[in-house]
Structure 1
């Protein structure tokens, strides 16, 4: 008891600030500062010291600057034609810094759960390789923030708690996404290992914690729950819905499309391995290349001279008039390299370029060599 009391009355720490920030919904509507929690979470390595110092100063000194208490008040309609004040539901949009203070203050309250376990659970919520909206949906479901009929009744928006699909049980998050008889067949194939009795005694968060212990099922579970919720809302509005026996195919196509968009494009060009071979002592290697800048309608030539140890002796870059073709540019780059080597007094030099056509033309025979050599 003494250790618990010491922990409760002790000062707040940076670790608690980190934990509070990770527990904040990243896409919550921003307050007057215009910064959603996602901004702080993404750039946390860069701003951690300053923000943590400000938060801890407020918490440990029990004093908060008035600027942090500014907020936007937004009125949400409860009915179609509001006439009185209680026909609106006010929502306060505080600054993210204020939310961080509140989250950390709540985290200091006595709890039967280990803070490390809680942090690990919430980190798993954001790990599945699914889209951000699915992750955010899963977070809302775990925090019981979805507009289920029970939650809407608490806000005095609805008076009927019964699920409109099965017509027998009150609609909470666990029932809407998992327990309803109208959606059970969606879960039966891949999640029939879950003990239904244990799930019925807990919350949706308990179910998620159980499923997330199996990494290979995380993506399927999160996406399936999202599809089930979307289908429930469409059916409530009498809109066209995906048949239950077609949801698995829809989920598979959704995940394949998402992963294909995340994969970097595969280049059709084969990557060439370039091993730079140094010249003999007393000789030099002159590497040259040209580049086109279409956005500026310009071109450029670059030259690098290295000795037998691979050290750069001299380098040069120059803008030139844009030629009509890349081949012509490579010929010009070759000419500039030869002239540059002559101007700096190099006698024994090896010239290396990227254009096989130009190099073969200079080394080979026939009409090409006459044209290229004459130009160079």
Structure 2
């Protein structure tokens, strides 16, 4: 399944397929809510499948001419629901169904908090407008070409931070290292971090973990406008376009995409190794005889 949707929709799909949506049934199982009954219709426990398929007349939406879908067993999972949509619908209507599934969850939260929600009778029309507008703003997909990218590091726009990332796999060692360095429009390093993890992943998986590591740091720091840059073409392509869930880097990339909604602006950039020297040296030179933070290790401050 390729997640070519706005970040907030991708984030919803990730939460749904990971079974971490805070429905009443889920909260009741965790002994957080006092009851599992759906607060809108009161006819059944509020699971994600009940909410999407049948609550408040949703079965009529899926039976409409755009979809002609049958109701699945309420014991099925969100993953099975998305797979069912993928098997049953052509590409455009599959995307529309994903948008509507997300909107149902959004409507549920609006009702819960006393805000206005889109009526079920209008949800297909609303979803069609939303999807068409999103698709109209998408650039034609082209594969990234190393030759068209700079070999030198360049500063981000004013108000942004550029997060360069890299990974290192020491030969013969049962661990790998990931690094990130954040610099502003003046090229000043405001933070850097390095971590070593046990395991023997392939290089691309380690690079994808480095990207996730940097985004988690950025979220923790409260940075709002960021550009994540790395020299692994496959990872940057996957972050820009979404990824097949069967890919070996899929778990890391999906985790990265789930963090995108937490930023005001977040984009991904490819740079050649020669333009990623500082992050590379941080990853390959660890451990350092100093603490992580805003002062770079001796000998590395001069790297661009």
TM over 0.5: no
TM-score (norm 2): 0.42
Quick check: which has more Rg, 1 or 2?
Answer: 1
Q: Of Structure 1 and Structure 2, which has the larger fraction of its residues in helix?
A: 1
